[in-house]
Amino acid sequence: MPVPRQTAPLLRAERLTRTGDVMTSPKTTVDVVVLTMNDRPVAFPQAMDSLLAQQDVDLRVVVVGNGVEPDHVPAGVRTVTLPVNEGIPQGRNVGADALSGPGCGEFVFFFDNDAVLPAPDILARLVAEARRHPEAAYIQPRIADPDTGVTLRRWVPRLRAGDATRPGTITVMAEGVILVRRADYERAGGWPGRFFLFHEGIDLSWRLWDLGRTGWYAPDIVIHHPATDPARHATFYRLVARNRVWLAYRRLPAPLVPVYLATWTLLSVVRIRSRANLAVWARGLWEGIKGGHGQRRPMSWTTVLRLTRAGRPPIV
C-alpha cells in the first residue's frame, strides 16, 4: 500500500479575491502528478521550479516516489511513497487518487520529472484551450527538445506526423505531459496500471473516446523535454510487445484483435533490425498472448467508426 506523507499543506491559491468592490473570477484548479525515482537530481528540481512558477491557476501538486521516498521536494508539495516501483501508469493513478475527493481539481496534469514548462502561463493556456474545446477530454501540448527545438515523431499524436505544428483532433496521446479533465479521467478508470510502461496512453485515449469524448492537440503550447530514446530501457522490446497484445485484448472488438496484432507484428519485424532485440520482442508477444491484460472492455463499433473518421482506425 502507498504510504502518504504530506510535507506541508497543499499548494493552493486563494480561490476568490476582491479588488475594490469587484470580485475577480476564481482560478481554475489543476491537480498535478509528478513521479520520481530520485534518479534525476538536476532535472527534477528544474521541472518543479518551472511547475511552481505557473500563474493564473490554482495548483495542487503531489510527487509520487515509485519505490523511493521522494527527495528534493519543494516545500508545500505533498508526497506519496510507494514501497516498490509499480510502474509509470500505476504511479500516476496513485498520484491522481491522492488528490481526489472534495476540493479536487477540474483538471489533472501529468508531468514528467525531466520536462520543463518554459513560460509561467503554460498551464493557464492549456486550460484556456480546454475551454475552447469542450468536447475534448484531454489537451496535448507540443513537446520539443530544449536544445534543438525538435519535436520527435513519436511525440506527435497522429499518424501524419510530418508537421508537428498542425493542431487538430487526436485519438492518442504523448502521456508524459498531458492535461486531462478529472471527470473524464475518473469515468475512464484511469491509466492501465498493469502496463508498467509503454502504450498506456493509447489505452486511456481509446477508453475516453469510447465515452464519447475526443482529444485535442495544441502545438502552439510548447513544453520542453529532452529527446531520449525509449529503447534505452532494458525492458523496452518486451514491454512494447506485451502491451500491444494487452491493449488489443482490453479495448478492441474481437474481430479486430487479430487484424491489429498482425499489423503490428509485421511492422515490428520490419523495424527491429537486431535479431537479439527481435527475440526479446517475441518473448514479450508470447507473454501478452498468455494473458494478464486485466478486464476486457472493448470499444463499441461506433467508437471504431469515430476513430476512423478522425484519421486513425484502431488497427494501426
pLDDT of residue 10: 52
For 164-167, the CB contacts below 8 A with 24+ separation are 164/219, 165/219, 165/220, 166/217, 166/219, 167/216, 167/217, 167/218, 167/219, 167/220
Residue 18, pLDDT above cutoff 50: no
73 and 128 fall within a common domain? yes
Sequence letter at residue 7: T
Interval 293-312 mean pLDDT: 96
Q: What mean pLDDT do residues 77-98 have?
A: 97
Least confident span in 47-51, 146-150, 234-238, 253-257: 234-238
- Taking a C-beta distance cutoff of 8 angstroms, is the pair 92, 191 a contact? yes
Mark whether 55 and 96 lie in a shared domain: yes
- Indicate if 166 and 21 belong to the same structural domain: yes
CB 92 within 8 A of CB 160: no
In the predicted model, is pLDDT for residue 6 greater than 70?
A: no
The vertex-160 CA angle with 310 and 214, nearest 5°, equals 30
The overall average pLDDT reported for the chain is 91
Q: What percent of the chain has pLDDT over 90?
A: 84
**Would you state the pLDDT for residue 25?**
57
Q: Which residue has the cell 510487445?
A: 241
Residue 59: its pLDDT value, please?
97
Clarify whether residues 220 and 238 are in a common domain. Answer: no
**Confidence class for position 52, pLDDT limits 50, 70, 90:** very high
Residue 174 and residue 50 in one domain:
yes
Residue 269 covered by a domain: yes
> Quick one: 286 and 161 in the same domain?
no
The total number of structural domains that make up the chain: 2
d(C-alpha 210, C-alpha 248), whole Å: 14
pLDDT (mean) for 87-101: 97
- Greatest alpha-carbon pair distance for the chain in Å reads 72
- List the domain range (segments joined by +) for residue 17: 3-228
pLDDT at 17 over 70: no
Q: Give residue for cell 496500471.
A: 193
Burial class (CB in 10 A: 0-12, 13-18, 19+), 52: middle
Among residues of the chain, what percentage have pLDDT more than 70? 91
Domain CATH number, residue 189: 3.90.550.10
Q: From start to end of 161-289, where are the E strands?
A: 168-170, 177-181, 214-224
